[in-house]
A = this chain, B = another copy of it.
Amino acid sequence: MRSIAMEVCYDGTGYNGLQVQDGGTTIQGTIEEALSTITASAVRIRYAGRTDAGVHALGQVVSVQTDHSMSAGEFRAALNGNLPHDIRIMEAREVPLNFHPRYDAKRRWYRYLISTAPERIPFFHNYAHWIRRKLDVDLLERYCGCILGEQDFTSFASLEEGENPRRTLFECTVKVRNDFVVFDLTGNSFLRRMVRTIVGTFLESEKRGDTPNRIAAILRARDRSRGGQTAFAGGLYLMKVFY
């Protein structure tokens, strides 16, 4: 047996998320189906991070164990020939057999895009959250500073039963790029819906003109009902996983 790791770019618009589940086509299911076609055997993949329905990835990492003799490059080419155009293998390489894309990941980088164009742009309908008003980016930047470091993110996530809510956020920045406001978050790992709930909460507080103290208080409360709404899935991109 050998193990091959792949960097995957996908447009999540047409998928019911990454993980195989009942109902709807998933990224995982689509990749596994293509792999099964190529290797003529049932295949399961491992992945670095689950993404919800409509969420995109530029650098998701998946791995597969196989006894097939194709080189990593041949796997990549064969897979791309069998995948739909909205999923692409950007890179493939041989890794140690015990490599696990989720457990071995050191850092994950997510990006969230907000379009602040005066009118909703057709091309970004599924690819950015549209907000008509002008955002106070200085205020948002001060919010970002309140959630850095190792924290209990219960107020900003959809926790699973018994899940450890502590995560470490290394980076949380916001900047303006043309008609976009761009959030970048890097952490050791992320809870379910964490990035979207952080962004959604920031946007609600910014609209009310809350001081950064308000964000710090929501974090300290460890209470999901204190956080804001989860922001639109199409604005979120898993950019890169670091090992």
Contact = CB atoms under 8 A, between A and B. Distances in A.
Interface string A71-106: 000000000100001111110000000000000000
Contacts of A89: 119
Nearest to A90: B119
A110 to B, nearest CB: 16
Q: Which of A121, A123, A127 counts the most chain B CB atoms within 10 A?
A: A123
Contact of A120 (B88, B120, B122, B123): B88
A119 B6 CA distance: 13
A85 B126 CA distance: 10
A10 interface: yes
Interface in A114-155: 118-123, 125, 127
> What is the count of identical protomers in the complex?
2
A32 interface: no
A85 B122 contact: yes
A97 B87 CA distance: 50
A178 to B, nearest CB: 13
A199 interface: no
A198 interface: no
Contacts of A169: none
Contact of A9 (B10, B86, B90, B121): B121
Interface of A: 9-11, 56, 80, 85-90, 118-123, 125, 127
Given A9-B123, A56-B123, A90-B119, 15 more contacts: A9-B119, A9-B121, A9-B122, A10-B122, A11-B122, A11-B123, A80-B119, A85-B120, A85-B122, A85-B125, A86-B122, A88-B119, A88-B121, A90-B118, A123-B127
9 contacts: A10-B122, A11-B123, A11-B125, A80-B120, A85-B120, A86-B125, A88-B119, A88-B120, A90-B118
